[in-house]
């Protein structure tokens, strides 16, 4: 199922935006802010951080708009920028933890999600927190294939990996997630 009108409209918006048209860029922002937010939110596991990174991603996109190839889908280009912002965030966070001995965000996220939600919401909160704790080399293929709907080949192209490497990392990510979600003392027999 292809959305040719959407692809054509994206290409037109991208072409106009690359020419400096802010209105066209705003059209791309409106179209892709929700899917990019969901991608970033799953990557970092924190809603507030995700909003900040989303804004940083769009600022970076506007600053690099001349490099946008209107023949390629804008979402691919925007997602790549967002992924780089998420990686930068992870590196900054690691440095802060090292120097300041800050409590791990993932631990706080798990506690917050289990206290603030009940039932199904709690399970989703635990899943989000577990995904956020995955190492980037496992998290990225998982997010791109499972949540963004990319094939293993497409995710491999986006990450500079082979499709087989993506498949292997997906297997490892799912296994690690399953282990992380088996919380000690959880009621799995009920």
pTM of the full predicted structure? 0.65
Please give the pLDDT value at position 29. 94
| Residue 32 to residues 2, 69, 82, 180, Cα–Cα distance (Å) | 17, 16, 11, 31
Determine the Cα–Cα distance for residues 76 and 72; give it in Å rounded to an integer. 8
Please give the pLDDT value at position 101. 59
Q: Per-residue pLDDT averaged across 145-162, rounded?
A: 87
Please give the pLDDT value at position 34. 95
The structure tokens listed for 88 are 């930068």
Residue 70 pLDDT > 90: no
Tens digit of each residue's pLDDT (9 = 90 or more) over 6-58:
777 888 888 888 888 899 999 999 999 999 999 999 998 888 999 999 999 99
Determine the Cα–Cα distance for residues 150 and 147; give it in Å rounded to an integer. 8
Please give the pLDDT value at position 2. 43
Structure-derived torsion over alpha carbons of residues 167, 145, 155, 36, reported in degrees to the nearest 10: -150
3-class DSSP assignment, residue 182: coil
Domains of the chain: 1-102 (1.10.1740.10)
Please give the pLDDT value at position 90. 83
* End-to-end Cα spacing for the chain: 41
Please give the pLDDT value at position 102. 47
3-class DSSP assignment, residue 69: coil
Helix (H) or strand (E) holding 138: helix 136-142
Determine the Cα–Cα distance for residues 178 and 153; give it in Å rounded to an integer. 24
Please give the pLDDT value at position 107. 47
Please give the pLDDT value at position 110. 44
| Residue 182 to residues 82, 85, 93, 123, 129, Cα–Cα distance (Å) | 30, 30, 26, 11, 13
Please give the pLDDT value at position 59. 94
Please give the pLDDT value at position 114. 43
Q: What is the DSSP code (8-state) at residue 10?
A: H
**Which single residue is written with the structure tokens 């690099």?**
64
Tens digit of each residue's pLDDT (9 = 90 or more) over 78-115:
999 999 999 888 888 776 666 665 444 444 444 444 44
What integer best gives the mean pLDDT of the chain? 80
CB 17 within 8 A of CB 25: yes
Among candidate residues 133, 129, 124, 126, the one with its CA nearest the CA of residue 173: 133
pLDDT over 90 percentage in the chain: 31
């Amino acid at each position: 199922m292809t959305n040719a009108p959407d692809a054509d409209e994206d290409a037109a918006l991208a072409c106009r935006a690359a020419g400096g048209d802010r209105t066209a860029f705003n059209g791309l922002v409106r179209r892709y802010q929700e899917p990019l937010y969901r991608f970033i939110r799953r990557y970092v596991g924190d809603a507030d951080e995700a909003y900040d990174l989303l804004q940083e991603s769009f600022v970076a996109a506007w600053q690099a708009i001349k490099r946008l190839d209107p023949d390629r889908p804008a979402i691919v280009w925007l997602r790549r920028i967002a992924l780089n912002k998420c990686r930068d965030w992870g590196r900054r966070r690691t440095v802060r933890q090292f120097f300041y001995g800050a409590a791990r965000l993932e631990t706080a996220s798990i506690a917050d999600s289990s206290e603030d939600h009940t039932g199904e919401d709690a399970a989703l909160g635990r899943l989000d927190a577990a995904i956020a704790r995955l190492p980037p080399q496992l998290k990225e293929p998982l997010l791109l294939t499972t949540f963004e709907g990319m094939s293993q080949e497409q995710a491999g192209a986006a990450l500079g990996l082979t499709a087989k490497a993506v498949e292997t990392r997906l297997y490892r990510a799912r296994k690690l997630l399953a282990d992380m979600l088996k919380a000690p003392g959880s009621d799995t027999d009920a």
